[in-house]
Structure formats: C-alpha cells, structure tokens
Structure 1
C-alpha cells in the first residue's frame, strides 16, 4: 500500500470555502496529500521473516516503512571515550595486590580495584596496583599508579618481603588482597611480617566500615577498615565509568635474599580430569551435537574440560558429572564454549559467572546466542570438524 495516511483536520481545511459566514465545504476539490505514507504490515513481515527455521521467526531489525522503500538513513552512534581522571597529588595510597594469573585480571581482581576506589575516593587518595608486570587493563580497572614487584613466579616469601618494603617506604593507608589461595596466603604472610592485623574474608566494604560473618555465620563482625584487608568474591562491584592514568611509580626495592623456596613452577592440571567447578575453559555439547567422537576430539584439541547440557546427560551420552546448570554444576570458568545448546533458564544460571561465552547454534534467537559475547549461527556438526582442521593447520604452521 503506497497511499498516504489521511489527516482529517488538514483535509477539512482544504475543502473549506472561504468568505462564507456559515462553514461551507467543496467536496469536489482534490485533497492535499497529508501525513506520512501508510505502512504495509504484510510486506514488513515478509522482510523480517528469518529463512531456514522450522518455527516461524521474525527479525524485527529488518522493518521498513513501505514496500520497496529503504529504511531512513540514521547517523551512526559515536561512542564517546571514557573520561580520563587524573590525581596529581594524592593524599594517600590504597594498594591492590591482584592475583592476575598470566598477567590478566580476573573478575575477583576487578572487584578488588572497585573496593580500592571506594577507599581512595573517600580520602582523596589514589589506587596503587602492585603487580608483576604492567597491563593495559589496569587503567580501565581503576589504577592511578602502578608499581611492578621484582618477585616473579611462585615465590610468596620474596613477594611478601617486597610488599613489606612498600608498606614501610610509601604512604600506603590500606592494602587489599583477594581472599583466594594465593592472595590469602600472601596477605597472611605480610600480616605476620608487619605485625598488622588482617581483616580476612571481608564480605562488604565501604569507606567507613568493613564486615564479615563469624561463628558459623551467626554474627557479623564490623569495624573501621584496617590497613590489611582480604576481600571475598562479589563483596564489591568492579570499577566502571572513568579511565585512570596507571602511571608508573619509581621505588627502590631492597636486594632480595635467598629464602626457603629454591625453585618452584606451576604444573597445569589435566583439563579432562579437572572438575567443572574448578575448570578455566569448558566446552559443552547440547542437542545439536550428534557425533560425540568429533566432540571429544575437539575438546582434547582445545585443551578444554568437557561439559554437557541436561538433556545430553539424561540420554546417557555424557556422564552426570559433566552436566552444566543449576541442577548440575555452576561454572566460574573464564571461557565457556557451547555447541548446539539452546540455553534453558537452568543452563543459563550455570554459566552466569563465566567471563566469556561463545555459542554455536542454528537458531538466531536462541537464548544462548543472546547470552554469548561471540555467536556463530551455524550447525555445530559442521563447525566442529572445521575447527579441528584449523587447529591442525595452525600446529603444522
């Protein structure tokens, strides 16, 4: 339909005969084209129909004003860069000692920077990141200053001594650690060396108070923030909004002394034998996967931990221990690769804590596709052998 919409008031004004006391109208006069063109709902629906799906699905982003008409040109949204905040002369420093495995901040580390920003902004201070190497993530996370620690690898003794020298040599008001295996151990070592009281496992933090549960979670301990604090997971939201300088800080560390640890190295665990709750990279199969031999070969080639949806485990194609979801295992993996999984609500609850989600599904509107940061709308049975070929080519190259 190409005719324009009618505007009754404008049409009445065009038919009116001027110069008469009583309102008179000439209905034979040609009405002026008024209003915007009518929309053809059927044509819009045909354009929005997604081909190749069993169920009838519509892509509403393909809506146009009329048949054959092009969508109105829109100016692309210009993303404004985050505002850079500088603190030239901080009144104090709030130090953060993240785990940063492989030089990359974890979600827990980012929450640590969010807590440090609360304490620093309330006291006119700056956030000091004590890390092994500088990273681009530190400015986004909220670090104003960066001080590389000379200790590298697994050497908690040397790292604790280096932190003690920073504690004595700089105006550090608070030092925050993650309450993790490495972070908690380092916090307790520093507390023993410095004689400072450690508030371990803090579950909430503000500029005036820090709290944690005690006595089997029957009571809550509350006090003003001390100098040494280790923070539990999800106690504070990560910093967001402003970009910070992350300027390097010069500091003369004392000469390292030989400790009890002569040599140490990280031995990676076999991903096929790691439990899903501790896995870093999980690849899961759903109803879209039928060739499980290829699936297992892909999991081994990617170095991932195998997982599955509930329906696959119910069918006996994968063990029950591999089930991902609210009724299986809730993941905290860095990356989750879903093959042929539509994304039931219980399954999405199981991957809510995953940092990155990659999904392969033929349904453009599947819930897992919407949850994914990277989505491939294709058949998982075709994607798996293609990935295996690419991995083999990369190894040969």
Structure 2
C-alpha cells in the first residue's frame, strides 16, 4: 500500500475552493517575468470538477503542479477526530444501504444532520440507525453514535417502525431524518403518523427555523417551519469531509417486535440487459478501444453489469443507441462505472456527473477519462478484461459487483 499513488480528493477540492483557508497553499503563486512583472498565461488552462466537466483553471492550478494534489497512500493526512462527549441531545438519521454500503443520498442527509447538530447550544450527537451489515467504514460519513439493528432481515416496515419508536423513547432525538427515497421515505412517513407529527417531505435546504421543500412534482418551492421529522432530498447538504467521526456503537435492547405481514422472499434476479441505464447501479461501458466485443459481452454477463457504450461505439454499430452514455445519450447515476477503452469526450463525461466511482481501463494514461476516474488500469483492455474475468469466476457475479 505504501507504493500506491492516489489522488487526494480533499486536496483537489481545497484547490478549487477559493474561500478555503488552505487554498493559497495549493493554488500556487502568480508567475513573474525576468523584470519582476506579473505575467499571465494567455493560453486557457483547464481543470476537471467533481462532475467531470472541463472548466477554466482560474485558480492557476496547472502552475502549482498536479503533483501537489497527489499523494501516496502512506502519506494521506489523517483528518482530525470530531468528538461529542456526553451528548445532551441527538439528531437521529436512518441510514440507507446499497450492497452493504452507505448511499450518496445518505451521506448528504448526514451532512444536513451535522449542520443541525452544530446549531444546537448543547452537545448534540448524530445518531445513525442502520439495519443490515455494513461492509465499509463510515467514520468519515458524519455518524457520532451508531445504532446497529440486528435480527430484522428483509422488508419489514412494521418492525422498523417499532424499532424507531423504541429508539425515540430511549434517546428522544430532536429531529428524525429519513432520505426521501425508497424504503426510507416510506418508513419516515410511517413514523411521523405514529408520532403524530407532520413530516416535511422533499426538503432540499435548511435556513435557521425554516425549511425549503420541493412540491408540485418538483416544479415549485414551499417554505415551512422546521419540524421534527424531515425527509430530505439528494444534495440537501454537502457531505462531511472535514473530520473523522467516532461512529461509536451504543447499547440498545429492543423489545418485542410485531410479526411481519409481508413475507420477503429476497430480491428477484433481473437480467442486467433489461435494466435501463439510468437506473443501473453497475455499468460496464465500452468505447473505441474495445476490439474483442465477444469478450466484452462475456465480461458484462460474468460481472452482472449493465452494458453501456460511448457514441463512437454506437455510431460504428457495435452497440444499440439505447446503450449510449453521455449528454447525447443517457445520463447515468451508477454506483460503479467501468469505462473500457473510452478516452472521455466532454459529452460523455457530462453523462457521468452523478456516478460515485469511475474505473478507467485505457492505454493512454493522460486521457480525460483517467483524470475523471477514481481508479485507473493502464494497459491493453483485452488483457485487463481477461484478468478481471478470471477473478470473477472465483466468486459469484453479485459479490463481484458489490466488491467493485
């Protein structure tokens, strides 16, 4: 691990944020000529934002050097620890999981919860409730206290509601936050009915004692007072990036739970080819650098990934138009996106704005897709896919997609 070179996303964010105290340290100093006069580079300099869009380098990052934003794994600075000793109050957050990992929506809601906790006059901790197995650390997500709910497997909304009621009685949180999507949105509405509270749904902004929420099918904004049960939308707040959090487990002994009225028989196996690209969580996408298309299709089947393609691959007739990713195709929000032989045109990168993790397989180490990627494999795509398929054959496709 000490020889692995990784890009530090926090330093890159600081270099883009001119209001950050350390911005001057990473942005470099203006260039001076031999006479001592300040010189400006007339050629446009570019940088890539978190959405993958190319932007003018107004902060002069190129002059500072890209190496200032890259550190080895052993040199990654450790964030300061945020501690809440003897909390007087709690902000409870239901944590949605996808494949055992916290979703991006859940991280945004935790960012809002930390803002609410900071605004309190007494020590307030964010209490995260999770039902299921966590497969990754959530120390940097914003959880001060962690309440792990075991023994409630599958879809059991009645049991979840009862657990939340018991947690409400034990910890008496000031606010309950549920991501306004899927099962967590349903649970938040159920709990609000039992508590006799009127929930605030579609919340996208918090301002003091007021909430701004979306209504009218997302075309109107309404303002309402801050309430106890909140159902925030995605991007309601910035995720926590400044601190590490304790995520200290708390003791909780649940009482009797109601019997499940619905029998959960597990997830239905779905052919990844039948999943629309806009809804797929794991995508294997091909570009002009793929020459063995039979191998590509076998790899997608073995990995359990939905197939995507760049515009060049579609125009050449190798993939249907419905599988094109980008501004002129489909905007995707996958959890993992593997780009095989895709250089990364700006139209293609625009379609990856909401992708959590991008993995690039390419021979060109300086292409735009490699700059956008969280992990890159530089080499021949045929050989890398063959090695990836060999690893995938050792474990089920579902486990491979989760591990990616």
* Common fold by TM > 0.5: yes
- Superposition pairs for residues 79-118 of structure 1, below 5 Å? 79-118=76-115
Q: State the TM-score, normalized to the length of structure 2.
A: 0.75
What does residue 145 of structure 1 align with? 145
Q: Which has the larger radius of gyration?
A: 1
Higher RCO (CA 8 Å, separation ≥ 6 residues):
2
How many residues were matched structurally? 324
Q: Distance in 1 between matches of 2:126 and 2:159?
A: 23
Check 1:207–1:146 CA distance in 2 against 1; reply closer, same or farther (3 A cut).
farther
In structure 2, what is the equivalent of residue 243 of structure 1?
244
Q: 1:390 to 1:255 in 2, by over 3 A?
A: closer
TM-score by length of 1: 0.76
Residue in 1 aligned with 2:331? 330
Task: Tell me which residue corresponds to 1:17.
Answer: none
- Per the alignment, residue 35 of structure 1 pairs with none
Whole-angstrom CA distance in 1 between matches of 2:391 and 2:138? 33
| Deviations, residues 49-88 of structure 1 (Å, cap 9, x unaligned) | xxxxxxxxxxx9xx9xxxxxxxxxxx99944311112111
| Residue 264 to residue 165, structure 1, CA distance change in 2 (3 Å) | farther
Residue by residue, what CA displacement relative to the aligned partner does 1:191-243 show, whole Å, maximum 9, x if unpaired? 22221111111111244321113345564211232111111111211111111
Secondary structure of the structure 2 residue equivalent to 1:96: strand
CA contact (8 A) 1:288 1:381 kept: no
301-310 vs 133-142, which moves further: 133-142
* Residue pairs, 1:90-239, within 5 angstroms: 90-123=87-120, 124=122, 125-133=124-132, 135=134, 137-150=137-150, 151-215=152-216, 219-239=220-240
Shift of 1:386: 3.4
Higher strand share: 2
Deviation string for 1:242-282 (max 9, x for gaps)? 11211222233221121422444222422121111111110
Q: How far apart are residue 393 of structure 1 and its match? A: 5.7
In structure 1, the residue matched to 2:18 is none
Query: Any idea what SS the aligned residue of 1:254 has?
Result: coil
SS at match of 1:357: strand
Runs of at least 4 residues of structure 1 off by over 6 A? none
SS in 2 for 1:196: coil
Instruction: State the distance in 2 between where 1:393 and 1:94 align.
Output: 43
Q: Single out whichever of 316-325 and 350-359 deviates more from structure 2.
A: 350-359
Q: C-alpha displacement at 1:137, in angstroms?
A: 2.8
Cα distance between partner residues in 2 of 1:172 and 1:382:
54
Q: The residue matched to 1:141 in structure 2 has which SS?
A: coil
Give runs of aligned pairs for residues 1-397 of structure 1, distance below 5 A.
Answer: 78-123=75-120, 124=122, 125-133=124-132, 135=134, 137-150=137-150, 151-215=152-216, 219-392=220-393
Q: Residue 169 and residue 386 in structure 1: after superposition, are their counterparts in 2 closer, same or farther (change >3 A)?
A: closer
Report which stretch shifted further, 126-135 or 311-320.
126-135
Distance of 2:217 and 2:279 partners within structure 1: 25
- The answer to whether the 8 Å contact 1:154/1:264 transfers is no
Partners of 1:360 and 1:103 in 2: CA distance: 26
CA 1:370/1:120 → structure 2, altered by over 3 Å: closer, same or farther?
same
- 3-state SS, counterpart of residue 313 of structure 2: helix
Q: Tell me the C-alpha RMSD between the 2 structures.
A: 2.4
Give the conservation status (yes or no) of the 8 Å contact 1:286–1:308. Answer: yes
- TM-fit CA distance, 1:101: 2.4
Q: Is the 2:176–2:230 contact (alpha carbons within 8 Å) kept by the matching residues of 1?
A: yes
CA distance in 1, matches of 2:251, 2:177: 20
